[in-house]
Structure 1
Amino acid sequence: MITSLQTHSIDIGIGLTEGWVAGLGKAQAERRDAPYKLVGTYVETPLCWAISTGADRKDVTGVDGLQGAKMGVSRIGSGSYVMGFVLADAHNWLSQPPTSPSSSPAPTPFNIIPLQTFARLRDAVNDGSADFFMWEHFTSKRYYDNGAIRRIGEIYTPWPSWHIVARAEIVGDERLEEVLEKLNLGVRYFEEHKEEAVRYISTELDYSAEDAREWLKTVKFAQDVRGVRASVVQETVTVLEKAGVLGPEVGVMGMIGIRRKG
């Protein structure tokens, strides 16, 4: 999506918070203008990342033993990568040497294994080329239910999970304001038609109707999507710096096109 914003293929995008912030921070580090600004908050609730291992792995028993293990990620800097550092920070592993005798001495809490796709991550924890990976809970659940992988824990993002960006040139344009208001109308329609949402999710997406209903209990869309809180962006930047995705001295306010209070 960032590439599409750069090429003007799209004007507005909705995506994971950490991805947008990482892209903006990298643009600052390279002293170039970012192709977009943060303009809205789409989902107020954090995202639940499930922690998974192979279905028959006896050597991976729980989260406490993961320090120094092989962590499968889609790519360096992705959400699956960043959340590993959120997990490590929660367990105070970022400042401690790894305890696993097979781990590398790299200055990371895990041995990182980039694998690109969800399917390859599932295969890797079963064939031993990775010990665990992290992916959104409900997307992973069907593979727990069919016995393909095993769930050993979960962790939530420390920030609201989805934000809205727009090309920098259209911030302040009345067309952007119109889109944000229509998103508000869409959120209200969704809230008032939950069973219609369940039917759509269970027929068009990779969820059962039961899982769709459970997912609806966990997600809270912004009642007014307009604007972004600087405190949320700062918290995201702090974690991305710990993960080595961003360097120090990132300017948070330069990332925000429309600001909320807080």
Structure 2
Amino acid sequence: MTPPLRIGYVPEHFSTPLHFAVSHFSLPCTLIPFPSGTGHMITSLQANEIDVGIGLTEGWIAGLGKAQAERREAGYKMVGAYVETPLCWAISTGGKRKDLRDVHQLKGTRMGVSRIGRYAFADCYALLVVDMLMRRSSGSYVMGFVLADKHGWLNTQASSANDASPFDIVPLQTFENLREAVNDGFTADFFMWEHFTSKRYYDNGVIKKIGEIYTPWPSWHIVARPDVIGDERLEVMIENLNLGIKYFEEHHDEAVQYISTELDYSAEDAREWLKTVNFAEDVRGVRGSVVEKTVEVLKKAGVLGEVELEGMIGIRRKD
């Protein structure tokens, strides 16, 4: 018997249509949560621990571009759209910190991220691999460069993305670790995370918001390992996920109930979020123009160099 698809997802409010696809339409799959986000899913796709991932657009494309730069297989391709609206990244610091009140103070400070991409390279003579830990980039890492580009802080003469950054970058894995780090006085000064996921912690004073930035692209996409593209199981997943999204759009009260009881959000915040988000009516396929625009911004921000767009897309839809 063919095993069900293993689907990686971030256990946040955006996962509600996926939950409905499983609970109301019997989507045959094994759901695997990744609270640390898209970068962790990339490593699991490469290790054949999951078959499909639903995560942040910039994380997927940064990972694909870096794999091309290193002339290795990324372990996945983009196969579908999920959320059509941009993501609002809230910029947060410690709840009691008085020294940071504005985004313009952040240049030269310590930026907490969930995961960081590091370049792998080998000495041509000794054939010594110095670092093989590059294979992942999180949205919280990528958006730091977008923020820096927006404010003109990037070192455009740098030889690598890390050297271009105006921040000291601190990888901390989880949202909980990030919240603790900006409050301990020495680990990190700020981090970026989705607004509504952060809001509860603004309300209780654990962290405070000093700014925000929107992605200049649709925020969530679906990727799959190359060996499952064309597989009937993937097509069944797409059909069921479309049904889950349609049910979500028609049953907002049930969505609020699920989000406010099973996830870390208040009912009020869930209702406010529903006003801001649009899911794809049909998740199948990826627009080339979306990938091109995202790559363009990431190149400008110093995250990517030259890449081949065609190699990133496993299922294409018309622009």
Please give the TM-score of this superposition, normalised by the length of structure 1.
0.88
1:237: which partner in 2? Answer: 295
User: Secondary structure of the equivalent of 1:175?
Assistant: helix
Pairs aligned (count): 253
1:74: which partner in 2? Answer: 114
Q: Which 10-residue stretch deviates more, 206-215 or 18-27?
A: 18-27
Deviations 1:11-47 (A, max 9, x none): 2221111222222223222222332211100110111
- Please point out which of 139, 142, 151 is paired with 2:200: 142
Q: Distance in 2 between matches of 1:209 and 1:171?
A: 38
Q: Distance in 2 between matches of 1:32 and 1:71?
A: 29
Amino acid at match of 1:250: V
Amino acid at match of 1:169: D
Displacement after TM superposition at 1:95 (Å) = 4.8
User: Secondary structure of the equivalent of 1:225?
Assistant: coil
1:178: which partner in 2? Answer: 236
Residue 228 (str. 1) matches residue 286 (str. 2): yes
User: Secondary structure of the equivalent of 1:151?
Assistant: strand
The residue correspondences of 1:84-233 to structure 2 (distance < 5 A) are: 84-95=144-155, 107-129=164-186, 130-233=188-291
Amino acid at match of 1:146: N
Please give the TM-score of this superposition, normalised by the length of structure 2.
0.74
1:85–1:242 Cα contact (<8 Å) kept: no
Displacement after TM superposition at 1:3 (Å) = 3.6
1:103: which partner in 2? Answer: none
Task: Call closer, same or farther: CA 1:95–1:24 in 2, change over 3 Å.
Answer: closer
The alignment yields a C-alpha RMSD, in angstroms, of 2.0
1:43: which partner in 2? Answer: 83
- Please point out which of 14, 34, 41 is paired with 2:74: 34
User: Secondary structure of the equivalent of 1:240?
Assistant: helix
Task: Call closer, same or farther: CA 1:12–1:107 in 2, change over 3 Å.
Answer: closer
Q: Distance in 2 between matches of 1:7 and 1:51?
A: 32
Q: Distance in 2 between matches of 1:175 and 1:121?
A: 37
1:85–1:239 Cα contact (<8 Å) kept: no
- Please point out which of 96, 109, 134 is paired with 1:56: 96
Q: Distance in 2 between matches of 1:158 and 1:227?
A: 20
Displacement after TM superposition at 1:49 (Å) = 0.8
Larger RCO (CA within 8 A; separation ≥ 6): 1
Displacement after TM superposition at 1:161 (Å) = 1.1
Displacement after TM superposition at 1:4 (Å) = 3.5
Q: Distance in 1 between matches of 2:278 and 2:79?
A: 18
Displacement after TM superposition at 1:52 (Å) = 0.8
Q: Distance in 2 between matches of 1:211 and 1:199?
A: 12
User: Secondary structure of the equivalent of 1:126?
Assistant: coil
Identity %: 75
Q: Which 10-residue stretch deviates more, 64-73 or 251-260?
A: 64-73
Displacement after TM superposition at 1:115 (Å) = 2.4
User: Secondary structure of the equivalent of 2:164?
Assistant: coil
2:155–2:165 Cα contact (<8 Å) kept: no
Deviations 1:66-107 (A, max 9, x none): 22222222221321111111111111222589xxxxxxxx53
Q: Distance in 1 between matches of 2:49 and 2:167?
A: 37
Q: Distance in 1 between matches of 2:248 and 2:190?
A: 35
Deviations 1:193-236 (A, max 9, x none): 11001000000000011111111111110011111111221232
Q: Which 10-residue stretch deviates more, 215-224 or 18-27?
A: 18-27
Q: Which 10-residue stretch deviates more, 172-181 or 148-157?
A: 172-181
